[in-house]
Copies of this chain bind each other. A is one copy, B any other.
Amino acid sequence: MAVYTDVSDEELEEFIASYDVGALTSFKGIAEGVENSNYLVNTESGRYILTLYEKRVRREDLPYFLGLMQHLVARGISCPLPVKDRSGRTLRELAGRPAALITFLDGLWVRRPNMEHCHALGDALAHLHLAGADFPMFRANDLSLPGWGALGKDIGAGADEVVPGLAAEITKELAFLEQNWPSDLPDGVIHADLFPDNVFFLGDKVSGLIDFYFACNDALAYDVAVCLNAWCFESDGGFNVTKARALLQAYEGVRPLSEAELKSLPLLARGAALRFLLTRTYDWLNTDENALVRFKDPNEYLRKLRFHQRVKSYRDYGLGKH
């Protein structure tokens, strides 16, 4: 929960007046999202989200993120649409930060996804991958292997403050993944952070996908692996294979996975678990005590990593048909 940057009355008024959206009727900080400052903006013409991009988002990446959302909306994906100002720009500046006004999406994120939600998510993810296929821009995944190695170095022995022995475990896993990471899987635009709080539902139907600020070009199946981690474990740490099957079958109903992708799935899932273990450990160790954000427990992803290390085959994720 966070609003990091305050916006003055004058700045806000001038900013909104530069769009063709009518006069402001309401402006409230939203207590969601860890990376950026988000405001709910109501105007005479409707509801919008104003995002001020804070330090974790690089300014030079914003044209990719904003362009991707425009591309996806044009292809029928329900995601926030960056609104153009009177000069046709979507990327602006406000209160010294890069800023964008985007459309508000109806829907609720699901605190405890059930099997139907996982099915709907798998379907939505595959449609996202198809819709992104002809997006012309490219952004490397800076949170893949090289990024993990750098994060692991930054964390160093500090990891043992979080869990005794974690530093060695990270080193070993990094070495294993560096040896075995696949390089020839089908790639394209991935969301890379499609956790339940980034997927809106109305009833059992996905009403929208949000938060494209980790999107990049990488193996499509890696995105599936992120979702297996984020959607298919119970809060007690148990892996729910029924939810995994629902997710994967729905995905394959739209975009079938190749044999190579399927075989790589346990490895990709280890990588995805390590990625969140690393960033959570880093945040845990580098959060000053006055932070407005409560960071999440790295242990959750350590347990998930250990689960995937024991997985023998993609069949353990519930796919029996291949």
Contacts and interface: CB of A to CB of B under 8 A. Distances in A.
A115 interface: no
Interface residues of A, number: 29
Interface stretch (A19-27, A175-183, A301-309): A19-27
B107 A31 contact: no
A8 B112 contact: yes
A289 B106 CA distance: 36
A257 to B, nearest CB: 30
Given A40-B40, A289-B290, A292-B294, A31 B1 contact: yes
B107 A9 contact: no
A32 B28 contact: yes
A24 B109 CA distance: 12
A40 B32 CA distance: 12
Nearest to A292: B292
Interface in A1-60: 1-3, 6, 8-9, 24-32, 40, 42
Given A9-B112, A112-B8, A40 B28 contact: yes
Interface of A: 1-3, 6, 8-9, 24-32, 40, 42, 104, 106-108, 110-112, 202, 289-290, 292, 294
